Amino acid sequence: MKKNLNKTSLLACLVLALPLCAVANPIQDSYRTPAKQENAAFKDFSVAAGEKLYNTKINELSCASCHTSSPTNTGKHVKTNKVILPLSPSANPKRFTEAATVEKWFKRNCNDVLSRACTAQEKGDFIAYVLSAK
């Protein structure tokens, strides 16, 4: 009985600690200072805001148009039909590991979908959403 209590206690502690153990992403962290500079009220990145950005349609395009409704799925470019590997690092561990590559795709895709550059807040929110996708 004591052994089960210890396992149960340990499991409860781990579950309670999960929010404190969120996987840090250095690329996402690099957007914190610029986000604070853009908006003095900035507190932190938002998974919900990232999901909203992911699904925002402008001129019939959204991130989901090519990347599907879930960033864990393999997508396909709407014009070229080229296969796009999942955005979520849980499904594709190579995602969000190289800052220059991330910036290149933000620049291209924000311009294509939003017709403007994304803010640091939007980039951080987007990454928060994609990191949360399991």
Tell me the DSSP string of 15-36. HHHGGGGPPP-HHHHTTHHHHH
What mean pLDDT is reported for the chain? 86
User: What confidence tens digit (pLDDT) does each residue in 20-31 have?
Assistant: 334 569 999 999
Give the range of the structural domain holding residue 123, as residue numbers without chain letter.
24-132
User: Residue 15 falls within a domain, yes or no?
Assistant: no
Q: In this structure, how many other beta carbons lie within 10 angstroms of the beta carbon of residue 66? A: 19
User: Residue 16 falls within a domain, yes or no?
Assistant: no
CB of 40 within 8 A of CB of 108?
no
User: What confidence tens digit (pLDDT) does each residue in 40-82 have?
Assistant: 999 999 999 999 999 999 988 999 999 999 999 999 999 999 9
Residue 14, pLDDT > 70, answer no
User: Residue 11 falls within a domain, yes or no?
Assistant: no
Residue 13, pLDDT > 60, answer no
CB of 83 within 8 A of CB of 74?
yes
Give the pLDDT of residue 59: 86
